[in-house]
RNA sequence: GCCCCUAUCGUCUAAUGGUUAGGACGUCAGUUUCUCAAGCUGAAAAUACCGGUUCGAAUCCGGUUAGGGGCGCCA
């Protein structure tokens, strides 16, 4: 039997980390078993389902690289199928009309709750005869359709948790449809899983309690039910279920903030799953290779951003500058012009090669894509700084000034072309400046070129700026010091 | 209140009856370095509690406690 699984979100909110993880595990299981992974949009709730959310879910899944294999199915397109099943259940008297009002139901629920009982439906409308039913329908009394439960306990098997025992009397006759044409989740989901030939239902633990209801439906409809796999929940910092309600970030928001799909996938994969070997850095391909459903965890996971950030940093470093370029926002730094040259706000003109170099310098230090350019903004915008910043440790103004003058004069003798190679510049200066004196030369040089107390090494800065700009910036620093002496 | 699920460092987890309880992130220290980042080395840090089974328990069983989920004409 070949594996068929699905991710079946309802478009009532954007895709968040928990949903993405459910999709990922379904995807990994399908791929690792050479099976099929499907996407189904569960939009039976017309009030809450929004096209905007459906788009977000589809975009996010695409962005993560979780490709589904067959056409997307929408429950809103399958009304006829559900109607047929509803009619069947009605005809067989397995389902029945319930005319109880919401107020009536709510009152009974409160009453049971105060008595310390589980609130369930009384079964009041269970035995209405055909005449009464027709009569009430004619009088347009509101109704729903309920399934008749057996008065016994069911034992079913969850793939991860083993046998689970639940008494149907704890559930009561539950609603399966608003009317003959509007099924609820419990029914539509069951029907679709059957007709799509789903072999394994891999979903969040919040659905564990609907399993006995669905198993009953499978039984009434004389279908075999799939294997149930209930994933432990992903919990937020407050230890409660991740949901839109308490501000869980959506995948699209993470994307906007500058996270890479590789990082998010790697991070969520480790929430409840662990490969055999103790190597946590995995591409999607590697995950597929080592994925085993049996290795899934049973206990909920609280996610914490610092590890996600670590992964993002890691994958950022691996990403070539060419691929990062289209993801970056240069609008505060200058403009691209003719022949792919970049015209920076400070008058510098960089070719593509230099832009790549700049990106590489930024990405070594950034956590998020959006941080990259901020780490190297001195390449683009004029900057100012406090002259005191030029002083290394206990260095004096005078000493620092003369060191900068020395560096300037030394650099002045170097040919312009040699400025392109940071390594060469480093070797050159390392040979001239005594080892124990480097801080007194390189620190002020670096500050002169960046205006910051932290930045890439001065040689990298010089290799981007080129000879002329470098000498200008050093002169500026010397002037700053002079004004204080 | 009732039903169900879960329980290893702060967090994610490994160890499916025998390990000095391992790894990752984070934290701290050292090292490298002009700075930052990265790297390298090291440290602190856990089997919720009480019983039982067993020569031997993180692991099996029972109870307690704690956390979570559910109790919708939502999914």
Looking at residue A454, its pLDDT comes to 95
What is the C-alpha separation between A194 and A293, in angstroms, rounded? 21
DSSP string over A347-389: S-EE-HHHHHHHHHHHHTT-SSGGGHHHHTGGGTS-----GGG
Q: Where are the alpha helices (DSSP H) in A258-377?
A: 261-269, 284-290, 305-318, 321-324, 352-363, 372-375
| The token pair that represents A443 in the structure block | 């620190």
Supply the pLDDT for residue A1: 74
Nucleotides of chain B within 7 Å of a protein C-beta?
1-8, 10-14, 22-26, 33-38, 67-75
C-beta of residue A458 within 8 angstroms of C-beta of residue A444: no
Q: Which residues contact A323 (CB under 8 A, 6 or more apart)?
A: none
Question: Which residues 222 to 281 of A reach strand B, CB within 7 A?
Answer: 232-233, 235, 239-241, 270-272, 274, 278, 280
- Domain limits, chain A: 1-71+187-318, 321-379, 387-484
Question: Residue A239 has what pLDDT?
Answer: 84
What is the CATH code for A1-71+187-318?
Answer: 3.40.50.620
What is the ipTM, given to two decimal places? 0.95
**If phi over 0 gives left and psi between -120 and 50 gives alpha, with beta otherwise, what is residue A325?**
alpha
pLDDT at residue number A245: 57
Taking the CA of residue A166 and the C1' sugar atom of nucleotide B4, their distance in angstroms comes to 8
pLDDT of amino acid A279: 87
Which mean pLDDT values do the consecutive 10-residue runs of chain A (485 residues) have?
Answer: 95 96 98 98 96 98 98 97 98 96 92 86 93 95 96 95 94 96 97 98 96 98 98 90 74 97 97 90 96 95 94 97 97 93 97 97 97 97 96 94 97 94 94 93 98 96 97 97 91
| CATH code at A387-484 | 1.10.10.350
Q: Which residue is nearest to nucleotide B38 (CA to C1')?
A: A364
CA triple A315-A22-A247, angle to 5 deg: 80
Distance A162 CA to B63 C1' (A): 21
Whole-number pLDDT of residue A242 = 78
């Amino acid at each position: 039997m070949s594996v068929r699984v699905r991710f079946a979100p309802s478009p009532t909110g954007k895709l968040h980390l928990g949903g993405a993880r459910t999709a990922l595990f379904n995807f990994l299981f399908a791929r690792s078993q050479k099976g099929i992974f499907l996407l189904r949009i569960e939009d039976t709730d017309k009030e809450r389902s929004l096209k905007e959310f459906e788009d977000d879910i589809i975009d996010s899944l695409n962005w993560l690289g979780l490709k589904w294999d067959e056409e997307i199915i929408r429950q809103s397109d399958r009304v006829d199928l559900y109607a047929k099943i509803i009619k069947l259940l009605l005809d067989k008297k397995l389902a029945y009309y319930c005319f109880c009002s919401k107020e009536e139901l709510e009152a009974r629920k409160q009453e049971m709750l105060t008595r310390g009982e589980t609130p369930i439906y009384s079964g009041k409308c269970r035995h209405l005869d055909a005449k009464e039913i027709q009569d009430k329908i004619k009088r347009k009394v509101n109704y729903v359709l309920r399934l008749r439960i057996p008065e016994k306990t069911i034992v079913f098997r969850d793939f991860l948790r083993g046998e689970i025992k639940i008494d149907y009397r704890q559930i009561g006759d539950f609603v399966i449809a608003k009317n003959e044409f509007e099924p609820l989740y419990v029914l539509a989901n069951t029907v679709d899983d059957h007709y799509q030939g789903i072999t394994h239902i891999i979903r969040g633990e919040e659905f564990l309690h609907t399993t006995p209801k669905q198993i009953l439906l499978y039984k009434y409809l004389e279908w075999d039910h799939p294997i149930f796999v209930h994933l432990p929940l992903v919990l937020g910092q407050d230890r409660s279920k991740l949901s839109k309600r308490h501000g869980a970030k959506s995948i699209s928001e993470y994307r906007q903030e500058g996270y890479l799909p590789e990082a998010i996938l790697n991070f969520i994969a480790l929430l409840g799953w662990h490969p055999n070997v103790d190597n946590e850095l995995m591409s999607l391909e590697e995950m597929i290779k080592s994925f085993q459903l049996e290795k899934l965890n049973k206990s909920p996971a609280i996610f914490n951003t610092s590890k996600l950030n670590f992964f993002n940093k890691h994958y950022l470093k691996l990403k070539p500058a060419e691929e990062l370029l289209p993801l970056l926002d240069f609008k505060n730094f200058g403009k691209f012009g003719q022949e792919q040259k970049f015209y920076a706000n400070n008058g510098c003109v960089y070719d593509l090669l230099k832009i790549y170099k700049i990106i590489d310098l930024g990405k070594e230090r950034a956590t998020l894509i959006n941080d990259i350019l901020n780490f190297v903004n001195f390449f683009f915008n004029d900057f100012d700084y406090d002259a005191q910043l030029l002083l290394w440790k206990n260095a004096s103004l005078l000493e620092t000034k003369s060191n900068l003058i020395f560096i300037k004069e030394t650099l002045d003798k170097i040919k312009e072309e040699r400025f392109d190679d940071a390594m060469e510049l480093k070797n050159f200066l390392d040979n001239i400046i005594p080892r124990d004196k480097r801080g007194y030369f390189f620190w002020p040089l670096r500050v002169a070129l960046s205006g910051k107390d932290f930045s890439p090494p001065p040689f990298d800065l010089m290799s981007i700026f080129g000879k002329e700009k470098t000498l200008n910036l050093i002169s500026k620093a010397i002037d700053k010091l002079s004004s204080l002496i």
